[in-house]
Amino acid sequence: MQYTCQYNSPIGDITLSSDGQYLTGIHFNGLKTISTHPAKTNYKPGTAILEETKRWLDIYFQGKNPDFTPKIKLEGTPFRIFVWEILTHIPYGHTRSYKDIAEIIVEEYHFKNMSAQAIGGTVSHNPIPIIIPCHRVIGASGKLIGYSAGLERKVKLLELEGIKTSM
């Protein structure tokens, strides 16, 4: 069974989804996303993981770094899951470039090279944005590029974390 609930954030309304034990998705309402979005809302008041996620988001949107992370469940290819896990290691208030992430992949998988565009494609399919901080990934030149929920949201998230932005 999938459970969902709504969260009203300062950057727009969000639907949270869970399998009852793990957070499985954060979806910005009104966007056409490639990720799976539950069609039916089965909100079960008090579903612990959804309540914990809302608490995490409340803390985050107050401009603070939450000291816990809701339990998440990622589904995807091993490559995508590895990239999303790399994103979880980008510290609050810091950024990494797509190129930085590509270099980690090259080192880990012993590839000859890896394109930043391949990383960008995977980052754009992140099913749990904000908590898996894909908004902290920028271009190698420091320029803000790409965010599946829109660059204006990316700017607001980075500024919330104290990161100076320039578009």
The b-or-e profile of 94-103 (16+ CB within 10 A means b, else e) is ebbbbebbbb
If phi > 0 it is left, if psi is from -120 to 50 it is alpha, else beta; for residue 30 that is left
Query: Would you state the torsion angle of the CA atoms of residues 116, 167, 57, 50, taken in this order, to the nearest 10 degrees?
Result: -50
Is 134 annotated in the active site? yes
Count CB-CB contacts under 10 A for residue 26: 23
* Contact status, residue 164 vs residue 111, Cβ threshold 8 Å: no
From the candidates 86, 105, 134, 137, give the one annotated as an active-site residue: 134
The catalytic site residues sit at 134
